[in-house]
Structure 1
Amino acid sequence: MPQSRTLDDIRVDYEAPDNVPRDRVVDLSFANGSEPNDLVDPYEPFGWLNGDDVPRLLFNPPTRYGLGAISGNQRGNWVVSHYEDIERVYTDNEHFSNAGTAEFQRLIGETFKSIPLAIDPPDHSKYRLYLMPYFSPARITRELEPRIRAIVVEMIEAVADTGEVDMAWDFGRVYPVRIFMGLMGFPDHMFEQFLDWEWDILHSGSLEKMQAALRGVLDFLRAFIAEKEREPDEHLVSAIVHGQIEGRAPTDDEKIGMVWFLWLGGLDTVAATIAQMFRRMALQPEIQQAIRERPEIINGAVEEFLRTQPILSSARTATKDFEWHGVQIRKGDSIQCLNPAGNFDPARFADPRTFDPERRANRHFTFVGGVHICLGAHLARRELRLLLEEWFKRIPEFRVKPGADTTVFPGLLSIRNLPLVWDVK
């Protein structure tokens, strides 16, 4: 059973800004994926945070939340955990800004923006329109799906007769990155180096390692962009470099801003989702059975895996002073959307903790929402659908290898190793 917590359990003594009621100051580090558990539904411990008795605005001190060094905000963060409020933060561009989001490059003095993630409307649309054709459902079906299917079939068939695979390290970590590198045109020999850099930036917790990795990856990306400027090819980095934004060539900052953003977003999230997806199916084999017997539910199953595995909780910055839910929000305040609570809000989802592959109107926040909804959402969905389609054609009922550790960090950190086994006929 999940550890039972109440607001009294998580309240902390912290000298918050004077617009923050003292009874709203809480330690929500446990809800940001920092505490592992071994539950079939690892997000269950956060479910109570969308309850009617929980204030609609909570406040997390900066020492409990790890982005202060990156955002420059040392004051702490407001946190919203109810579906309705999360939806407002993601869609109300008048009051909430995405500027500065995930701009790790600031740690080494870089000033370019992560594009289009950290760009607000109206400029956001020109960059989104510039990149969106490369991630459209039609292009994915026409150009990328055959390659995706070939890769996933090759990887499954390589392990089918062995009866065993580490689904997190040897499969989930590899499969989406192979697709991403092919899409971008990056050389295969950079695979392990990319993952090492990405781990140090997002997960090491060491400023020194983050800065070294940032210098390494940005030096590589700038050199790669220069190479594509000299020698164009058919891949995405070359298309970005040689395209036209509203009739003009992109600037150097725009080029690195777009390529860097795609690099940062293309390596980790699908890998974490795959690991958690297969962990859930191994621990709850009736889900396997349902998909195996009715493959037509795969699309709905993928959507439900996404809803029940919200990898990220995004933040926005208040653009002005305003009152919300009886509390004064000030310009510059940071507001975090706690997707692991919002995706299970009973006000939006009937019987929210039940895995229902036939759930209707499944509008979750795993890909965020509003104009900043994940650019690669269609690609991620296709990767997951094709994986399930081809996996269940070739692999019988699987289970966690006896004795294996099945604890999971319910977030981006997720699972490093997930050994699965099945009976080979």
Structure 2
Amino acid sequence: MSDTATLDAIRVDFDAPDNVPRDRIVDLGFAMGNVPNDLVDPYEPVGWLAGADVPRLLFNPPASHGLGAISGNRTGSWVVSHYEDIERVYSDNEHFSNAGTAEFQRLIGETFKSIPLAIDPPDHQKYRLFLMPYFSPARITRDLEPRIRRICVEMIEAVAEKGEVDMAWDFARVFPVRIFMGLMGFPDEKFTQFLDWEWDILHSGSLEKMQAALRGVLDYLRGFIAEKEREPDEHLVSAIVHGKVEGRALTEDEKIGTVWFLWLGGLDTVAATIAQMFRRLALQPELQARIRREPGIINSAVEEFLRTQPILSSARSAKLDFEWHGIQVRKGDTFQCLNPAGNFDPARFENPREFDPERKANRHFTFVGGVHICLGAHLARRELRVLLEEWFARIPEFRVKPGADTTVFPGLLSIRNLPLVWKAG
């Protein structure tokens, strides 16, 4: 089926704003990571949206259920699916705003901003400069990599002789969160509670559960901030609490806004990436064999796993009226950047559906782009590289446990369980 015919099949009737052409209204719910499949490349159903015959701006009606409905967007969103257009939305700060992004706290009446994610330039820069030293490659190498490697080796050796592990639930869900909690200075005993709160906020689809979790985590974080104000330590929350932005101490809203954003961003994305990465390795033993045979390609392989596993599609809003691709955009219109399409755009990537562990110039959008590129990107890359290095040094060829369900949500929901087996000893 051609791209045009596929587009015809998903067109819907919706009473859209009058600046939206009727032929651009399509149901793109399937592309938002909420529909599972069992493909080796679970993002394959979305890639065609970057095709040359697909209009550069599509319009997706508001969600009728789940997080999209709870967020309160009642008008729908423009969707950009081609690499060049996604790059513009992420980098054109004159026309596009990040204000309000991921501010779930509004659901319980909180008014503080998520810092630095929901702050536009020029103010964004001062918060970014404040936080960047804690996430720089040099700091990660010096201060964090020894801990990353120690935890990684400990967790692998705990399962090596068993010959099996649930890679999603018992490993991917745990490994990056242990690193994050050590970085922030959170106590280990909050691990399970944090993951429960995070699941209810991002995945429950229940307003009641989201609100309860938000109240729980924000009460805890405010108490933790107060504790660090009284008793400073060497960890990141303490550094934020006692730090200065442009020579002044942070306000209470800035403290909770920064700690909250780091908490929200530190619990889920790397876990989903690890689960999907090992699912692909288990389903493609030839890829396992190549990385095991050529460990020097691990860095570029990690980048290709990231390109082919875009966990999030980020949103922006129009800051003013302007014309784009023949469409009259209005101030306040929402734009969804469809990273699972942009990362497979044939205009940018040669043979985009091919997994090439040595791909060059692999500038993907999995960590978004522009000034809001993921603050923890260096940390995430290091965690994934160390994991592959230590795993292949200790675990022989592995596969999915016979009879196990290998379906995956191609997005943040990802995989809850992924039992892997290998020949122990």
Query: TM-score, with normalisation over the residues of structure 1?
Result: 0.98
Which residue in 2 is equivalent to 1:195?
Answer: 195
1:4–1:45 Cα contact (<8 Å) kept: no
The one-letter code sitting in structure 2 at the alignment partner of 1:337 is: C
**Residue 69 of structure 1: how far off its partner (Å):** 5.3
CA distance in 1 between counterparts of 2:280 and 2:68 reads: 33
Secondary structure of the residue aligned to 1:165 is strand
**Residue 73 of structure 1: how far off its partner (Å):** 3.2
Secondary structure of the residue aligned to 2:317 is strand
The one-letter code sitting in structure 2 at the alignment partner of 1:165 is: V
Q: Decide whether aligned partners of structure 1 residues 104 and 70 sit closer, same or farther in structure 2, where only a CA change above 3 A counts.
A: farther
2:243–2:250 Cα contact (<8 Å) kept: yes
1:97 lines up with 2:97 in the alignment: yes
Secondary structure of the residue aligned to 1:6 is helix
CA distance in 2 between counterparts of 1:60 and 1:345 reads: 20
Which residue in 1 is equivalent to 2:378?
Answer: 378
Which residue in 1 is equivalent to 2:357?
Answer: 357
1:299–1:385 Cα contact (<8 Å) kept: yes
The one-letter code sitting in structure 2 at the alignment partner of 1:273 is: T
Which residue in 2 is equivalent to 1:139?
Answer: 139
Structure 2 gaps of 5+ residues are none
**Residue 286 of structure 1: how far off its partner (Å):** 1.1
Secondary structure of the residue aligned to 2:63 is helix
**Residue 65 of structure 1: how far off its partner (Å):** 7.8
Q: Decide whether aligned partners of structure 1 residues 73 and 5 sit closer, same or farther in structure 2, where only a CA change above 3 A counts.
A: same
Secondary structure of the residue aligned to 2:217 is helix
Query: TM-score, with normalisation over the residues of structure 2?
Result: 0.98
**Runs (4+) of structure 1 moved beyond 2 Å?**
63-73
Which residue in 2 is equivalent to 1:37?
Answer: 37
Secondary structure of the residue aligned to 2:156 is helix
Which residue in 2 is equivalent to 1:274?
Answer: 274
1:199-228: CA deviation from partner (whole Å, max 9, x where unpaired): 000000000000000000000000000000
Q: Decide whether aligned partners of structure 1 residues 4 and 407 sit closer, same or farther in structure 2, where only a CA change above 3 A counts.
A: farther
CA distance in 2 between counterparts of 1:284 and 1:348 reads: 25
CA distance in 2 between counterparts of 1:34 and 1:368 reads: 20
1:225 lines up with 2:225 in the alignment: yes
Which residue in 1 is equivalent to 2:264?
Answer: 264
2:67–2:205 Cα contact (<8 Å) kept: no
1:71–1:103 Cα contact (<8 Å) kept: no
CA distance in 1 between counterparts of 2:256 and 2:376 reads: 18
Q: Decide whether aligned partners of structure 1 residues 25 and 4 sit closer, same or farther in structure 2, where only a CA change above 3 A counts.
A: closer
Root mean square deviation of aligned Cα: 1.4
Which residue in 1 is equivalent to 2:306?
Answer: 306
Q: Decide whether aligned partners of structure 1 residues 176 and 75 sit closer, same or farther in structure 2, where only a CA change above 3 A counts.
A: same
CA distance in 1 between counterparts of 2:218 and 2:354 reads: 43
Q: Decide whether aligned partners of structure 1 residues 91 and 43 sit closer, same or farther in structure 2, where only a CA change above 3 A counts.
A: same
**Residue 34 of structure 1: how far off its partner (Å):** 1.0
Secondary structure of the residue aligned to 2:399 is strand
Secondary structure of the residue aligned to 2:245 is coil
Superposition pairs of residues 414-425 of structure 1, within 5 angstroms: 414-425=414-425
1:251-288: CA deviation from partner (whole Å, max 9, x where unpaired): 00000000000000000000000000000000011111
2:401–2:419 Cα contact (<8 Å) kept: yes
Which residue in 1 is equivalent to 2:80?
Answer: 80
**Residue 8 of structure 1: how far off its partner (Å):** 1.2
1:113-166: CA deviation from partner (whole Å, max 9, x where unpaired): 000000000000000000000000000000000000000000000000000000
Superposition pairs of residues 320-331 of structure 1, within 5 angstroms: 320-331=320-331
* Greater Cα shift, 57-66 or 135-144: 57-66
Superposition pairs of residues 177-256 of structure 1, within 5 angstroms: 177-256=177-256
Which residue in 2 is equivalent to 1:16?
Answer: 16
The one-letter code sitting in structure 1 at the alignment partner of 2:176 is: P
Superposition pairs of residues 51-130 of structure 1, within 5 angstroms: 51-63=51-63, 72-130=72-130
The one-letter code sitting in structure 2 at the alignment partner of 1:142 is: R
**Residue 74 of structure 1: how far off its partner (Å):** 1.6
**Residue 68 of structure 1: how far off its partner (Å):** 5.0
Secondary structure of the residue aligned to 1:62 is coil
1:24–1:59 Cα contact (<8 Å) kept: yes
CA distance in 1 between counterparts of 2:302 and 2:385 reads: 6
CA distance in 1 between counterparts of 2:65 and 2:81 reads: 16
Q: Aligned pairs, how many?
A: 424
2:4–2:54 Cα contact (<8 Å) kept: no
Q: Percent of counterpart pairs with the same letter? A: 85
Secondary structure of the residue aligned to 2:249 is coil
1:226-266: CA deviation from partner (whole Å, max 9, x where unpaired): 00000000000000000111010000000000000000000
Q: Decide whether aligned partners of structure 1 residues 178 and 197 sit closer, same or farther in structure 2, where only a CA change above 3 A counts.
A: same
Q: Decide whether aligned partners of structure 1 residues 337 and 321 sit closer, same or farther in structure 2, where only a CA change above 3 A counts.
A: same
**Residue 5 of structure 1: how far off its partner (Å):** 7.2
CA distance in 1 between counterparts of 2:67 and 2:182 reads: 31
**Residue 172 of structure 1: how far off its partner (Å):** 0.1
CA distance in 2 between counterparts of 1:68 and 1:115 reads: 22
1:70–1:103 Cα contact (<8 Å) kept: no
Structure 1 gaps of 5+ residues are none
The one-letter code sitting in structure 1 at the alignment partner of 2:183 is: L
CA distance in 2 between counterparts of 1:32 and 1:100 reads: 19
Which residue in 2 is equivalent to 1:294?
Answer: 294
CA distance in 1 between counterparts of 2:349 and 2:76 reads: 30
The one-letter code sitting in structure 2 at the alignment partner of 1:51 is: G
**Residue 66 of structure 1: how far off its partner (Å):** 5.3
1:49 lines up with 2:29 in the alignment: no
* Greater Cα shift, 150-159 or 65-74: 65-74
1:70–1:106 Cα contact (<8 Å) kept: no
